[in-house]
Amino acid sequence: MVNSVLTPGVTSSRLSKDELAGNFSDLHPPLDGHEALVAADRCYFCYDAPCVTACPTSIDIPLFIRQISTGMPESAAKTIFDQNILGGMCARVCPTETLCEQVCVRETAEGKPVEIGLLQRFATDRLMSEPHPYKRAAETGKQVAVVGAGPAGLACAHRLAMNGHGVTLYDARNKAGGLNEFGIAAYKTVDGFAQDEVDWLLSIGGISQVFGKRLGENLDLDQLRKDFDAVFLAIGLGGVNALGTEGEEKDNVDDAVNFISELRQSEDLSKLSVGRNVVVVGGGMTAVDAAVQSKLLGAQHVTLAYRRGQEQMNASGFEQDLATSSGVTILTNVQPLKVIGNGAAQEVELGYTKDDGNGLELTGETFRLPADQVFKAIGQRLDLDDSGLELAGGKISVDESGKTSLNGVWAGGDCASGGDDLTVTAVAEGRDAAEDIHDKLMNS
Ligand SMILES: Cc1cc2nc3c(=O)[nH]c(=O)nc-3n(C[C@H](O)[C@H](O)[C@H](O)COP(=O)(O)OP(=O)(O)OC[C@H]3O[C@@H](n4cnc5c(N)ncnc54)[C@H](O)[C@@H]3O)c2cc1C
Ligand code: SF4
């Protein structure tokens, strides 16, 4: 039976299966051959192209676009994968509007960039339907442990395997992919693409996977350092920040990342429960994704509550527009004060905030919103105790090549200091650490 969006409480089946299938279809449908040629034709093939500088993995964008325009999409894909082995996922999830496309000269001159992300997807999709394009170098006999099979770990493992090293890839979960599999919004990566990409990447060989191993629980860093020639840590940010408000422990006050992860693993979205009135607390990509996906599941009212001004939101302008065009209400300069309800959430009391240059403070004015589900999306933190690793800003401290304070241990991606928390940055850091590990293993 299909419940209506008006059904009170937190319930499943607010929409029909057909409506859900439509809502969660590809956000940016792929270009066909003709569209790709037209899009590629808009590129000026700039010398010292700003789009390349803006790409954390430094893909030679004008070169791959020229390869598309001259009818060589497979060569274009190779240009991309040489720099970014997860170029297929990045083509789908990169916030191009704040990276390559933001600085494209056609954006700065005309307000309409070359569609770099879609062109990247056009090229990579073609080569990924063919056998893996990279071969391993001769075996070096060296063994490296990679802990965490998200974008950083996968990129590192692939580059190490390519350089001839043996890799053991550990993960606490029961499948690889990290947030590509468990976090990214469902409409950005449809049809099981994340697992297909993992399978394609691992088909280079030389990488064995071990699941259900959590560093700090049933996997010991000191032991790994003894058993392997090098260790790369890519465990992301597993902890979730608390709201710190009264009533946070009530039923249906949930962690946004868990909700999204459940949604990504669901085989039948009609079985997933969502509130009629949903309040999401936060201002980043996770908050927007939780809000938009709640709406797409059939929530009647979804409000995103952010404590600072709109210009300070971490979610890009594109993401904010996606939220509002999906029917999400964005409230800025508001902070949750308490969750009200008898056992389960029913309302959230919020207070207005202001910042006159002396830090954020409450104005004293408050209001309430009906909320039978509240999502916390105010950031994640490193979940690793007593590892002996030096930390910086709550993350594992690393130098520019990913070396940590412990000899023979590198780290990259979200768990490591520096860099922004994006898929493409994680890939770049995994790749670069692999090259540094290779250099160290072969020259010492
Ligand atoms: C909801 C959400 C949406 C996002 N959307 C986007 C987006 O659209 N575009 C974008 O560019 N970025 C997005 N990001 C950010 C992006 O997903 C991350 O920056 C990226 O996944 C970081 O990669 P990583 O490999 O460092 O970590 P992760 O992807 O988090 O992978 C870490 C891996 O380590 C494993 N692990 C964790 N702890 C341990 C342990 N102790 N022992 C062993 N294994 C462990 C985990 O199971 C996981 O597989 C999003 C993030 C979130 C939370
Ligand atoms: S900046 Fe734009 S026009 Fe110039 S090379 Fe890059 S994509 Fe092409």
Over the stretch 29-39, which tens digit does the pLDDT of each residue have?
Answer: 999 999 999 99
Give residue 171 CA to ligand 1 midpoint distance, Å: 12
Candidates 61, 66, 67, 103: which one to mutate for ligand 2, based on the most atoms within 8 Å of Cβ? Answer: 61
Q: Is the pLDDT of residue 383 over 80?
A: yes
What whole-number distance in Å separates Cα of residue 430 and Cα of residue 160? Answer: 10
Cα 157 to its chain centre, rounded Å, is: 18
pLDDT interval class at 444 (50, 70, 90): confident
**Nearest residue (CA) to ligand 2, atom 6:** 51
Residue closest to 236 by CA, chosen among 257, 264, 211, 259 = 257
Ligand nearest to the CA of 102: 2
How far is the C-alpha of 235 from the C-alpha of 215, rounded, in Å? 8
293 lines ligand 1 (CB under 6 A): no
% of the chain residues with pLDDT over 90? 93
User: How far, in Å, is the centroid of ligand 1 from the Cα of 413?
Assistant: 8
Residue with tokens 């520019």: 400
Return the pLDDT at 346: 97
Rounded Cα distance between 374 and 331, Å, is: 15
Nearest ligand, CA 107: 2
The CA-to-CA distance between both ends of the chain, in Å, stands at 66
Whether this model's pTM surpasses 0.85? yes
Asked whether the predicted pLDDT for residue 387 surpasses 90, the reply is no
Confidence label for 276 from pLDDT (cuts 50, 70 and 90): very high
Q: What are the residue ranges of helices labelled H in 84-130?
A: 87-93, 100-103, 105-110, 116-128
pLDDT at 365 over 90: yes
Contact of 377 with 293, CB cutoff 8 Å: no
pLDDT band at 5 (very low <50, low <70, confident <90, very high): confident
Q: How many CB atoms are closer than 10 A to CB 355? A: 13
Q: Which pairs count as long-range contacts for 255-258, CB under 8 Å and 24+ apart, including other chains? A: 255/375, 255/376, 256/280, 256/282, 256/286, 256/287, 256/289, 256/290, 256/375, 256/376, 256/377, 257/183, 257/286, 257/377, 257/380
Is the CB of 150 inside a 6 Å radius of any atom of ligand 1? Answer: yes
Examine the pLDDT at 3 and tell me if it is beyond 80: no
Q: What is the pLDDT of residue 6?
A: 87
Query: Residue 60 is encoded by which pair of tokens?
Result: 């030679």
Report the C-alpha gap between 263 and 380 in whole angstroms: 19
What is the distance in A from the centroid of ligand 1 to the CA of 239? Answer: 11
Of 326, 86, 58, the closest CA to residue 187 belongs to 326
Percent of the chain, pLDDT > 70?
A: 100
Q: Residue 166: beta bridge partners?
A: 143
- Has residue 224 got a pLDDT over 80? yes
Q: Give the tens place of pLDDT for each residue, 99-150.
A: 999 999 999 999 999 999 999 999 999 999 888 999 999 999 999 999 999 9
Is the confidence at residue 209, as pLDDT, over 80?
yes
Whether 348 and 371 have beta carbons less than 8 Å apart is answered as yes
CA of 61 to the centre of ligand 2 (A): 7
Close Cβ partners of 183 (under 8 Å, ≥ 6 residues apart): 257, 260, 261, 264, 286
pLDDT (mean) for 152-170: 98
**Separation of CA 43 and ligand 1 centre (Å):** 32
> Which ligand has the nearest atom to the CA of 103?
2
**DSSP per-residue codes, 52-83:** HHHSTT---HHHHHHHHHTT-HHHHHHHHHHH
* Ligand 2 in reach of 63 Cβ (< 6 A): no
Q: Is the CB of 28 under 6 A from ligand 1?
A: no
Atom of ligand 1 nearest to the CA of 237: 30
Q: Is the CB of 238 under 6 A from ligand 1?
A: yes
Stronger pLDDT, 226 or 419, i.e. the higher one: 226
DSSP one-letter code for 27 = S
The closest alpha carbon to 164, from 198, 134, 209, 133, belongs to: 134
In angstroms, the CA 285 to CA 315 distance is 5
Is 331's pLDDT higher than 80? yes
Which ligand is in closest contact with the Cα of 50? 2
* Cβ-count burial 400-432 (b if 16+ within 10 Å, e if not): eebbbebebbbbbbbbbbebebbbbbbbbbbbb
Fill in the amino acid letter for 441: L
- pLDDT tens, position by position, 10-31: 999 999 999 999 999 999 999 9
Q: Give residue-wise pLDDT tens across range 232-264.
A: 999 999 988 889 999 999 999 999 999 999 999
Whole-number Å distance, alpha carbon 47 to ligand 2 midpoint, is 9
Residue 39: CB within 6 Å of ligand 2?
no
Q: For 383-400, what is the mean pLDDT?
A: 93
Check whether 2 has a pLDDT greater than 80: no
Backbone phi and psi for residue 400, each to the nearest 5 degrees, phi listed first: -65, -20
Gap from CA of 318 to ligand 2 centroid (Å): 20
> Which residue type sits at 70?
T
The answer to whether the CB of 77 is under 6 A from ligand 1 is no
User: In order of start, what are the domains of the chain with their CATH numbers?
Assistant: 33-128 (1.10.1060.10), 143-238+382-442 (3.50.50.60), 240-376 (3.50.50.60)
Which pair of structure tokens corresponds to residue 197?
């990409």
CB-facing half-sphere around the CA of 245: CA atoms within 13 A: 21
Quick check: 363 and 354 in contact, CB under 8 A? yes
Cβ atoms 301, 276 nearer than 8 A = yes
pLDDT at 121: 98
